[in-house]
Amino acid sequence: MNQLQGEVISAVATSSNLGDYETTYEGFNWKDVEKEFSWYETGKLNLAYEAIDRHVDAGRGGRTALLYSDATRDEAFTFEELQHLSNKFANVLRDTGIQKGDRVFVFMPRTPELYVSILGTIKVGAVVGPLFEAFMETAVKDRLEDSGAVAIVTTPSLLSRIKRNELPELQHIIVVGDEVEPGEGIIDFKSAMAGASSEAEIEWVDREDGLIIHYTSGSTGKPKGVYHVHNAMIQHYYTGKVVLDLQEGDVYWCTADPGWVTGTSYGIFAPWLNGATNVIRGGRFSPADWYETIQKYGVTVWYSAPTAFRMLMGAGEDVISKYNLSSLRHVLSVGEPLNPEVVRWGLKVYGKRIHDTWWMTETGGQLICNYPSLPMKPGSMGRPLPGIEAAIIDDMGNVLPPYRMGNLAIKTPWPSMMRKIWNNPAKYEEYFRIQGWYISGDSAYMDEDGYFWFQGRIDDVINSSGERIGPFEVESKLVEHPAVAEAGVIGKPDPTRGEIIKAFISLREGFEPSEELKADISKFVKVGLSAHAAPREIEFKDKLPKTRSGKIMRRVLKAWELQLPVGDLSTIED
């Protein structure tokens, strides 16, 4: 049990939009949220319309929707401008014959063109597949292949990572760049956009029609395509209102990339559905840059991750004192456990409570949160939102009493719940194996006030800097290296990144352990899979612990690493 759970920071001087809804569990009705959209009457909808065009139709088209900057660009777009640009892109897609339900991927850095592409794709009813720009060949191919993507939007520098000859279903590559080399199936974004009309018919879809597929890592097998539908917007809108606390005039900054679910649900959908001004900062993290961004735009609501807050903490208070951060009203965090230490530091240096929020790719939106009006217990994820019922259950489905550790589970359904795992119904069923519940894969306990406390992942998924990495994917890449016989990968606790990837490796005959070899193996994963999946630590072993069925026992590797008892070894090989 967490010794800190006696500590409570009360809600001070924060407003809360929750008052707009019935906040008891009995009285809450999602229909009250839906009624704020016109499609409540028509039944036909499109998230991109509700996020962008609706504001134009309501006379708010001149408001700033997007404030973008990186090392070389500094641009602003109104809702009306985004409406026109996304219409143009919708027309570009339609000209190629892309239709409702087709999968269109985006694989590029955070730039205005990325956001325009995502909105335009949704407008034609196609399903967006966002890929993080650091993905390398194999990772890109696996995802395009599994989803049967017909088109991808990318940049000239990323183009070579798309293995077209191995992807028969991929017909169109839309390239965003100054000089685009012509080729079969290649569309030059700039010239196509220049020639496209800024008016487009929106594809009105049903609430259960596809919106987005986010690939995420599990502990075994290839990444899973988590499929969400337009209906999710109810949850995006609601949580944007009651958890992000978005209000008229807010300047909101979510630091996540759309390659991860936070970067779409809360980097695109929630803020724009609520009509907020959305700040997008391109490029890589640097503390001075980040504070400069807050100061420059007068950011009022800031959503980031523990790993970033810990890095900012590590950068010290000198850098903070150089900037005016007084615009900040509300600060939030997601992705991994938010250390109480960080909450206390935030209170000291920003004068704000950093609000932890818990949810997953599969849940599509926030579920357990420290919403603004809730007294905060640092170290806890908060409480289920009104409309959401959570519990700790055992493997049989029994609800456990307070302080008992078990499976963190959510009563089904809720509006943004995933609707399938692409091509893999069996995987989908696993999450719902206990009647009436979604099993998250996290373990936690609940205290007597209904606050939830995260304990860990039940599977072996690694969480490094807030990114989920499946050990299997990394191990599979490692064994492709000519020197590697076998590999087992674990998450090793790290003060800044939460966990780092550590690989235990046995070498093939004829190879000798060396520092150079470690560096070479790590680079091999970096180049072959992605930078964030590369092991930061490698240890060579003569032999790895395995079960009789040949599975590498990661829990034994973890016990070695942490110098803990190894536990039950009844299934070990010898």
Per CB under 6 A, residues contacting ligand 6R9 are 216, 260-262, 334-337, 356-361, 381, 440-442, 454, 457, 463, 468
Provide, rounded to whole angstroms, the least separation between the CB of residue 464 and ligand 6R9: 11
Q: Is the Cβ of residue 187 or residue 243 nearer to ligand 6R9 in the bound state?
A: 243
Provide, rounded to whole angstroms, the least separation between the CB of residue 204 and ligand 6R9: 29
Provide, rounded to whole angstroms, the least separation between the CB of residue 454 and ligand 6R9: 4
Provide, rounded to whole angstroms, the least separation between the CB of residue 1 and ligand 6R9: 16
- Helix (H), strand (E), coil (C) string for 81-130: HHHHHHHHHHHHHHHCCCCCCCEEEEECCCCHHHHHHHHHHHHCCCEEEE
Provide, rounded to whole angstroms, the least separation between the CB of residue 467 and ligand 6R9: 7
Provide, rounded to whole angstroms, the least separation between the CB of residue 444 and ligand 6R9: 8
Q: Is the Cβ of residue 159 or residue 305 nearer to ligand 6R9 in the bound state?
A: 305
Are the CB atoms for 390 and 384 separated by under 8 Å? Answer: yes
Residue 259 CB: number of other CB atoms within 10 A? 24
Angle formed by the axes of helices 306-314 and 340-349, nearest 10° = 60
Any bridge partners for residue 453, and if so which? 445
With H, G, I as helix, E, B as strand and everything else as coil, classify residue 568.
Answer: coil
Q: Is the Cβ of residue 87 or residue 463 nearer to ligand 6R9 in the bound state?
A: 463
Q: Is the Cβ of residue 216 or residue 530 nearer to ligand 6R9 in the bound state?
A: 216
Ramachandran bin of 550, using left for φ above 0, alpha for ψ from -120 to 50, beta for the remaining angles: left
Residue 1 burial class via C-beta count within 10 angstroms: exposed 0-12, middle 13-18, buried 19 and up = exposed
Q: Is the Cβ of residue 117 or residue 407 nearer to ligand 6R9 in the bound state?
A: 407
Any bridge partners for residue 410, and if so which? 390, 438
Provide, rounded to whole angstroms, the least separation between the CB of residue 378 and ligand 6R9: 12
Residue showing the smallest CB distance to ligand 6R9 in the complex: 361
Residue 344 CB: number of other CB atoms within 10 A? 16
- Measured between alpha carbons, how far is 81 from 100 in angstroms, rounded to an integer? 24
Q: Is the Cβ of residue 80 or residue 336 nearer to ligand 6R9 in the bound state?
A: 336
Tokens encoding 458:
């039940």
Q: Is the Cβ of residue 356 or residue 460 nearer to ligand 6R9 in the bound state?
A: 356
Numbers of helices and strands, H then E, in the chain: 19, 26
